[in-house]
Each structure stands twice: as C-alpha cells, then as structure tokens.
Amino acid sequence: MKLPFLKPATTHAQQIAKLQQRGMVISNPQAAEQLLQHIQYYRLGAYWLPFESNHQTHTFNAGTTLEQVVNLYQFDRHLRLLLLDAIERIEVSIKSQWAYQLAHHHNPHAHLDASIASSQSFYQKNLDKLTEEVERSDETFMTHLLNTYQEPLPAIWAVCEVMSLGLLSRWYNNLKPLKTRNAIASLYLLDEEIMQSWLHHLSHVRNSCAHHSRLWNREFTITPKMPKNKPYGLKTQLNRGSRHIYNSLVIVLHFMDVIEPQNHWRKRLLDLLSQHPKIFLQNMGFPAQWQQFDIWQKGQNP
C-alpha cells in the first residue's frame, strides 16, 4: 500500500542543519548553502550514500565531510564528460561504416529498401523517426539536398549525420543481411551479435551522460553481451554478470583502440581513476586485478 507524501519543502539552511545532525562535517555553512543553491540536496544525496554508517537513520561515518561528497560528485561529472568525448568518436565512426557498407552492399538509398529489414513494423518506425529527424534538421547541407533532389530522403551518407546514436542502434538491430552486418562489425573486430549488443548498450550510456545522470555506481538495465572469441582475449577482462560502468569503460577502450590507436583517452581515464579511493572503483564494478589486464596496459609503457 502506498503512503501519502507528507514531506515539506526545506530551506538550504535547514538542509545543512540536517546533514550536520546526521554527523556530516560542514566547516563552512555559508559556502555549503551556496553549493546547494546550484546542486540540489536530492541530487547530492546519491553521492553521500557510501559515507553512511546506517542507511535507515542516514547517519554518517565519523569524520565524513561535505568536501568528500562533492569530490565524488565532481569525479562522476568528469567521468561523464570523458565518456561523452569517446562515445562521440565511436558514434561518428560507426555512422561512417553503416553508411559506407549499406551504400556499397546495397545502394545509396538502402535505408528506403524495406526488404533488407528483419521486421517490417520496426523498419517503418525507424524510417518514420529518421524522416522526422531529417525534417527537423537545420543543417545547411540537409536543406540543400532536400531542395535540390527529387527523392523521399537524401542518400544514406547524408541522413546518417542527423541520426541519434539510439536510432543508429535500432537500424543496425533491424538490419537483416548478415553479410552487411558482419562488414560493419568486422572493422571493430567484433561478431555482428556483439556489435549489436554493444551499440545498444553504449546508446544508453551516452543518454545517461547527456542527461547528467549518475554513472559511478549505476546498475544499467541494458547490459552488453559478453564476447566469445572476438575480440581475442577481451572476455576475460570484462566483469561477467556486472551491471556497472566498468564493462562499459572496457568496451569504450576497445573501440577507441580501433578508431584511434594512438589515442590518449586511456591515460585521461586512468588519471581520473587514480585520484579516487578504491572503494569507489568497487562500486563501479572494477574487479580486484583490473590494472593487470591488457586493455588497461596498452600505451602505458615507454
């Protein structure tokens, strides 16, 4: 049976007093109030959970400071920005391959060919969404194409530029010809089934980042499938059964190594991770010996 909601709104000063009563050390209440004006109490609450000694009473471990909580919050923000940077490059690369392979295996308007779709109902939904994104686009090149050529939609290499990552994932998922699916996946050293799963998962990670959602201890509902033989050796470096961000990071590292072999993204990620206690890494699904895995060692030795 649901309970009636009876909690009153509280002022920033009252929120600070509540945290102090629960044992959080706040050395500068005025600065804390300034902070809560811009990062609301409810949002920060997810980040002080690991500092609680009793979740029922919300009592904090002795010596817990507001600065520690904000530090964890800032870590998560930097992680989101770092992932957005990598996923952007992954998205651009996969769009390029999707357009190239469909155009060459089929034709420049392969997205208008319903016969290469596994499900006709999904195809129509995807096509409707793609049409909507094309019509909504204010890109100069799209306006030029729509005003110049007699065609239901511009060529695949143009429309892919206005597709979201989620829509790209749905188009790949509904692509029927195995030869075309493998042509796209093979560039990334993946089986087409794993490519489909990882693309779907990364679209959800990207959405979490874009909407400023918590990453560090999130349990994703859409999890990536574990690879079998391809890419070689990677399945033992993933955390089987985990729903946390660690597996996502390994997947991103793999894609980045294919797309840009001399990238510095791994170093930026390791630098960020090294600044934070191991307990936070455990909450992210990192296995005990993660630093010994090859995926984390690449490019680290002179």
Tens digit of pLDDT for each residue in 186-218? 999 999 999 999 999 999 999 999 999 999 999
CA distances from 28 to 20, 25, 225 (A): 11, 9, 47
The whole-number pLDDT of residue 7 equals 86
Tell whether 187 is covered by a domain: yes
In a domain, 58, yes or no: no
Q: Which residues contact 62 (CB under 8 A, 6 or more apart)?
A: 23, 53
Is residue 28 included in any domain, yes or no?
A: no
Does residue 33 belong to any structural domain of this protein? no
Residue closest to 99 by CA, chosen among 168, 181, 160:
160
- Mean of the pLDDT values across residues 72-89? 96
- Whether 100 is in a domain gets the answer yes
Confidence of residue 5 (pLDDT cuts 50, 70, 90): confident
| Mean pLDDT across the chain | 94
- Structurally, how many domains does the chain consist of? 1
pLDDT of residue 167 exceeding 50, the answer is: yes
Q: Are 111 and 159 in contact (CB under 8 A)?
A: yes
Residue 271 lies in a domain: yes
Structural domain span for residue 273: 73-297
Residue 56 pLDDT > 90, yes or no? Answer: no
pLDDT tier at 299, thresholds 50, 70, 90 = low
What residues form DSSP beta bridges with 65? 25
Q: Is residue 19 part of a domain?
A: no
Are 156 and 108 a contacting pair, CB within 8 Å? yes
What Å distances lie between residue 145 and 28, 57, 112, CA to CA?
58, 62, 16
- How large is the average pLDDT for residues 227-244? 92
Residue 275: the pLDDT is 87
Percent share of the chain, pLDDT over 90:
86
Q: How far apart are CA 235 and CA 225, in angstroms?
A: 10
In angstroms, the CA 7 to CA 33 distance is 20
Question: Considering the domain boundaries, does residue 35 fall inside one?
Answer: no
Q: Which helix (H) or strand (E) holds 133?
A: helix 120-136
44 pLDDT band (50/70/90 cuts)? very high
With a cut of 90, say whether residue 273 has pLDDT above it: yes
Section 79-102 average pLDDT: 97
Alpha-carbon distance of 103 to 110, in angstroms, equals: 6
* In contact, 296 and 266? CB cutoff 8 Å: yes
pTM of the model: 0.93
| Interval 15-42 mean pLDDT | 95
Would you state the structure tokens that stand for residue 98, as one six-digit string?
Answer: 């999707």
For residue 302, the model assigns a pLDDT of 45
Reduced to 3 states, what is the DSSP secondary structure of residue 119? coil
Q: Tell me the mean pLDDT in the region 146-171.
A: 94
pLDDT at 300: 59
